Chains A and B, each alone.
Chain A
Amino acid sequence: MTGRARVHARGRRRDTPSSEPAQPEATRGCPVPRVPRTDPPLSFADLVRRGTAAQQPHQIQPRLQPLTGVRHVSGAGPPAGAEATSQPSEEHQLASGSQGSLLRKKTDVGRDYRDFVVNTRQNLVHVRESTKGTQGSPVMLFSNHVRLKSCSQRHLYKYNVTYTPDIEDGRKREAFLSELEKLLGNRCVYDGNSLLLPHSLGETKKEVVSKLKNEPVKITFELSRELQTTSPDCLRYYNILFKKMLEKMDLNQIGRNYYNKNKKAEFNEHRLEIWPGYVTSILPCEIGLTLCADVSHKLLRMETAYDLISHTREEARGEDAKEKILRKLVGSSVLTKYNNRTYRVDDIIWEMSPSSTFTKSDGSEISFVDYYKERYGTVVTTLNQPLLITKGKWKKSRQDTTHQPIMLVPELCHLTGLTDDMRKDYRMMRDLCTHTRMDPERRQRKLLTFVDALRKNNTVQKELRDWNLELEAGFLSFSGRTLQDVRIHQGRRMVRFDNHKADWSKNTREVPLLRAVSLDHWLIVYTKGNYGTALTLQQNLQKVTPKMGVTVRNAKLLEADDTVQSYIRTLEKHASQNTQMVLFLLPTDNKEIYDGIKRYLCINYPIPSQCVLKRTLDRPKTPVTIATKIALQMNCKLGGALWKVDIGLQNAMFIGIDCFHDIERRRKSVAGFVASIDPDLTRWFSQCIIQQSGQELVKGLTTCLYTALKLWYEQNSSLPRSIIVYRDGVGDGQLQALIDQEVKQMESYLENAYRGQKVRLTFIVVKKRINTRFFIEKDGGRLNNPSPGTVIDLKVTRTEWYDFFIVSQSVREGTGAVSPTHYNVIHDTLQLSPDAVQGLTYKLCHMYYNFSGIIRVPAPCHYAHKLAYLVGQSLHQQPHESLSKSLFYL
Chain B
Amino acid sequence: VAENNMECNSVVDGNVEEVPSKKVIKFNPPLYKQRYQFVKNLVEQHQPKKVADLGCGDVCLLAILKYQKCVEELVGVDINEGKLKWNGSRLSPCVGDHLDPRELDLAITLYHGSVLEKDCRLLGFDLAACIELIEHFDSEDLGKFPEVVFGYMSPTMIVISTPNSEFNSLFPCVVFRDSDHKFEWNRMQFQTWALDVASRYNYSVEFTGVGEPPTGAEDVGYCTQIGVFRKKAEAAELAILEHHGEHVYEVVYTTSYPSLQQINYRRRVVVYLVYREVSRLRQKYQASLRQHELEPEFVACGNRTGKFTSDLPVPVLTEDDKAMEMAPQPFCIEDKFYVPLQRIIAYPRLGHLCGNVEKLREFLGDVIELNCDGSAVKVDLNDCSDF
Contact = CB atoms under 8 A, between A and B. Distances in A.
B304 A377 contact: no
Contacts of B279: 311
Contacts of B58: 175, 178, 212
A174 B85 CA distance: 13
Contacts of B142: none
A310 B7 CA distance: 50
B310 to A, nearest CB: 11
Interface string B270-281: 011001100110
Interface stretch (B114-122, B312-320, B334-342, B350-358): B312-320
Nearest to B258: A261
Contact of B316 (A266, A376, A384): A384
A268 B268 contact: yes
Interface residues of A, number: 68
A94 interface: yes
A178 B83 CA distance: 6
A319 to B, nearest CB: 5
A216 B6 contact: yes
Contacts of A363: 28
Contacts of A318: 307-308
B82 A322 contact: no
B312 A321 contact: yes
B217 interface: no
A313 B308 CA distance: 9
A315 B283 contact: yes
Contacts of B85: 186
Given A300-B99, A314-B280, A271 B275 contact: yes
A337 B96 contact: yes
A214 B5 contact: yes
B98 A213 contact: no
B311 A337 contact: no
A319 B95 contact: no
A213 B367 CA distance: 52
Nearest to A298: B95
A421 interface: yes
B116 to A, nearest CB: 21
A214 B3 CA distance: 8
Given A214-B8, A424-B385, A386 B89 contact: no
B271 A268 contact: yes
Nearest to A307: B276
B69 interface: yes
Contacts of B12: 216
B143 interface: no
B94 A96 contact: yes
A414 B96 contact: yes
Contact of A340 (B7, B29, B96, B284): B96
Given A317-B304, A339-B94, A421 B385 contact: yes
A309 to B, nearest CB: 9
B90 interface: yes
Interface in A331-355: 335-340, 350-351, 353
Given A178-B83, A311-B280, A311-B283, A95 B94 contact: yes
B168 interface: no
Contacts of A261: 98
A384 B313 contact: yes
Contact of B92 (A95, A98, A214, A254): A95
A317 B5 contact: no
Most chain-A CB neighbours within 10 Å: which of B32, B272, B279? B272
Interface residue range, chain B: 35 or more
A425 interface: yes
A302 B272 contact: yes
Interface in A214-261: 214-216, 247, 252, 254, 261
A261 B308 CA distance: 42
Given A98-B90, A384-B315, A215 B32 contact: no
Interface in B265-307: 268, 271-272, 275-276, 279-280, 283-284, 287, 304, 307
B92 A96 contact: yes
Contacts of A175: 58, 87
B314 A384 contact: yes
A96 B283 CA distance: 38
Contacts of B272: 268, 271, 302-303
A96 B7 CA distance: 29
Nearest to A165: B10
A261 B258 CA distance: 11
Nearest to B6: A214
Given A214-B30, A314-B284, A321 B96 contact: no
Contact of A311 (B5, B83, B312, B387): B387
A178 B86 contact: yes
Contacts of B31: 214
B96 A178 contact: no
Label chain A's interface by main secondary structure. mixed
A561 to B, nearest CB: 18
Given A175-B58, A214-B8, A247-B89, A300 B276 contact: no
B280 A340 contact: no
A35 B25 CA distance: 69
A353 B316 CA distance: 14
B309 A322 contact: yes
B368 to A, nearest CB: 8
Contacts of B96: 335-340, 414
Nearest to B97: A337
Nearest to A182: B82
A385 B313 contact: yes
A362 B283 contact: no
B202 interface: no
Contacts of B6: 211, 214, 216
Contacts of A319: 307-309
A427 to B, nearest CB: 8
B63 A302 contact: no
Interface in A515-567: none
B178 interface: yes
A428 B385 contact: yes
Interface in A362-420: 362-363, 375-378, 384-386, 414, 419
A181 interface: yes
B94 A97 contact: yes
A340 B276 CA distance: 23
A269 interface: yes
Nearest to A415: B387
Given A95-B92, A336-B96, A339-B94, A377 B68 contact: yes
B90 A96 contact: yes
Given A211-B178, A313-B312, A268 B94 contact: no
A832 interface: no
B73 to A, nearest CB: 16
Most chain-B CB neighbours within 10 Å: which of A98, A300, A377? A377
Given A186-B82, A268-B268, A337-B99, A178 B312 contact: no
Contacts of A308: 387
Contacts of A312: 387
Given A96-B94, A268-B271, A340-B95, A386 B313 contact: yes
A458 to B, nearest CB: 14
B68 to A, nearest CB: 6
B387 A421 contact: yes
B329 interface: no
B4 interface: yes
A273 B269 CA distance: 12
14 contacts: A175-B58, A214-B8, A252-B94, A268-B368, A271-B275, A300-B99, A317-B304, A335-B95, A336-B96, A338-B96, A340-B94, A362-B29, A378-B67, A421-B387
Closest 7 CB pairs of A and B: A337-B96, A340-B94, A384-B313, A377-B67, A214-B8, A181-B82, A425-B385
Given A303-B387, A314-B284, A317-B307, 20 more contacts: A174-B86, A181-B80, A181-B82, A212-B58, A214-B6, A215-B8, A247-B92, A252-B94, A268-B272, A269-B275, A302-B99, A311-B279, A317-B304, A318-B307, A322-B309, A337-B100, A362-B28, A362-B29, A376-B67, A378-B67
